[in-house]
Amino acid sequence: MHYFSINEIKEWDRFYRANFINSLQGFKPVSLLGTVNEKGQPNLAIFSNIVHLGADPALIGFINRPIEAAPHTLHNIEVTGEYTINHIQPSFIKAAHQTSAKYPAEQNEFTATGLTPIFLENCKAPFVAESAIKYALQLVEIVPITHNQTFLVIGTITHVFLEEGLVKQDGFIDAHKAKSITSLGIDGYYSTEPIGRFEYAKPNKEVKKLLEE
Amino acid sequence: MHYFSINEIKEWDRFYRANFINSLQGFKPVSLLGTVNEKGQPNLAIFSNIVHLGADPALIGFINRPIEAAPHTLHNIEVTGEYTINHIQPSFIKAAHQTSAKYPAEQNEFTATGLTPIFLENCKAPFVAESAIKYALQLVEIVPITHNQTFLVIGTITHVFLEEGLVKQDGFIDAHKAKSITSLGIDGYYSTEPIGRFEYAKPNKEVKKLLEE
């Protein structure tokens, strides 16, 4: 194994370090966040730091970078209280990645990338029509992370839209069948292959069974 | 598309709802968290709600469920201030999943599952010897999420151990080459296939190029 101490990592070039630390955590649920500003102008941006907080109430969080680096989505959520999260499929991955460009506030990323905004169920925020799995949230709380000026934005799920045929008999949503992608680091995108679903684990002593494939 | 309102979702059986909401977010960076208690007894538990907070300082967060549901890892981190996060490879996925069983506090999950604890660089917390990508963190802050009694546990990276040959020329860690898995929902595990790494996006107007594959 190769060992890296944080003191060594701190000395690296910032782009090298950013690639390293951003990919250390492993595969991420990359998605497109849709919002509108106070004038109703849509904004669309790619986010990968999304985290499940709980099923009941149905809460999802995402990390917003410091306000100088990523102002538009957070501003729009503060103003309207609503946003959408849209899975990314391979057919529009280039357009999805392009939303990471630093467009000015007055630029609508749907127009810039060719993705289709769609307004559903009286949500103020636009969904991505091309996305196979998408949901809307209502803002619950913006928690400042004081150590690096980021924010944990907590929302409660209000509406869910899924392509037909994705929900299994037990409620599991087959994001693999939907071809939803996962990301690694800042710029790596991956499809998935199922390994399996495992039964609810109970304490046992059958040690030897567990490590041999 | 099929539409689900939150009012409909709230009426569902709790297991069906848990499967649905847990998989809605998409693919997750599932890993094993290693800790020790005040007596030095190791604990190992599988967590999928891990989120990158920033590269400099190098901060990673994870969501701990309410204390009644998941007391041991959080207790140990509060006591020692240290923990490890270890990627999961297919060769020990059954053992990794088995750590989700509700073992009593006095049960060492390494012993129960056959995984190998390894103590490195004076970290109090054990790493998983079998893991190809693993890192240690020092506790920075435990942020209570008041809406559902969960916790965002924030740590700063102190040590990183990687199998040889995983770091690309620009610092990117090839977790696909390491065969690190990703998870979906409560119990689904997946391997990955590379789609590609994309260039840093700059504002452009070449709309038509982006949607056609």
Give tens-digit pLDDT for A77-129.
Answer: 999 999 999 999 999 999 999 999 999 988 999 999 999 999 999 999 999 99
Please list the residues that pair with B63 across neighbouring strands. B152
pLDDT of res. B154: 98
pLDDT of res. B178: 98
What distance separates the 2 farthest-apart alpha carbons in chain A? Answer: 62
Q: How far is CA B14 from CA A211, B18, B65, in A?
A: 32, 6, 16
- CB crowding B168-191: b at 16 or more within 10 Å, else e: beebbbbbbebbbbbbbbbbbbbb
| Contact assignment for A100 to B201 by CB distance below 8 Å | yes
**Token pair 């006095």 in the structure block, residue:** B106
DSSP string across B116-177:
-EE--TT-SSPEETT-SEEEEEEEEEEEEETTTTEEEEEEEEEEEEE-TT-B-TTS-B-TTT
Q: Which of A191, A157, A131 is nearest to A50 (CA)?
A: A157
Kindly provide the ipTM of the predicted complex, given to two decimals: 0.95
Q: Rounded to an integer, what distance in angstroms lies between the CA atom of residue A153 and that of residue A67?
A: 13
| Contact assignment for B170 to A16 by CB distance below 8 Å | yes
Residue A213 confidence (pLDDT) above 60 = no
What residues of chain B lie within 8 A of the CB of A20, using their CB?
55, 167, 171-173
- Rounded to a whole number, what is the distance in Å from the CA of A144 to chain B's nearest CA? 10
Q: State the pLDDT confidence band at A207, using cuts at 50, 70 and 90.
A: low
Q: pLDDT of chain B along its 213 residues, tens only? A: 999 999 999 999 999 999 999 999 999 999 999 999 999 999 999 999 999 999 999 999 999 999 988 899 999 999 999 999 999 999 999 999 999 999 998 899 999 999 999 999 999 999 999 999 999 999 999 999 999 999 999 999 999 999 999 999 999 999 999 999 999 999 999 999 999 999 889 987 656 556 654
What residues of chain A lie within 8 A of the CB of B28, using their CB?
27-29, 52
CB B207 within 8 A of CB A112: yes
Q: Which fold has domain B27-194?
A: Pnp Oxidase; Chain A (2.30.110)
Going through B37-119 in order, the beta strands assigned E by DSSP cover 42-47, 50-55, 58-64, 82-87, 117-118
**A73, containing H or E segment:** helix A72-80
Cis peptide before A57 (omega within 30 of 0): yes
Going through chain A in order, the beta strands assigned E by DSSP cover 2-5, 31-36, 42-47, 50-55, 58-64, 82-87, 117-118, 127-128, 133-145, 150-162, 182-184, 188-197
Q: Rounded to an integer, what distance in angstroms lies between the CA atom of residue A154 and that of residue A139?
A: 6
pLDDT of res. A206: 58
- Give me the CATH code for the A26-192 domain, please: 2.30.110.10
**Token pair 């939803």 in the structure block, residue:** A180
Q: What is the dihedral of CA A5, A10, A12, A17, to 10 degrees?
A: 90
pLDDT of res. B204: 77
DSSP state of A169: T
- Rounded to a whole number, what is the distance in Å from the CA of A9 to chain B's nearest CA? 9
Domain locations in chain B? 27-194
DSSP state of A132: S
Q: Rounded to an integer, what distance in angstroms lies between the CA atom of residue A192 and that of residue A190?
A: 7
Q: Which of B37, B213, B67, B211 is nearest to B150 (CA)?
A: B67
Q: Does A211 touch chain B (CB under 8 A)?
A: yes
Collapse the DSSP code of B95 into the 3-class scheme (helix H, G, I; strand E, B; otherwise coil) and give the result.
helix
Q: Rounded to an integer, what distance in angstroms lies between the CA atom of residue B59 and that of residue B78?
A: 17
- Structure tokens given for B96: 């990794």
Mutate to test the interface with B, among A23, A27, A88, A180 (most CBs of B within 10 A): A27
Nearest CA in chain B to A188: B197
Nearest CA in chain A to B150: A53
pTM above 0.90, yes or no: yes
- Number of inter-chain CB pairs under 8 A, A vs B: 422
Q: Does A105 touch chain B (CB under 8 A)?
A: no
Q: Does A170 touch chain B (CB under 8 A)?
A: yes
**B189, containing H or E segment:** strand B188-197
| Contact assignment for B1 to A161 by CB distance below 8 Å | yes
| Contact assignment for B56 to A18 by CB distance below 8 Å | yes
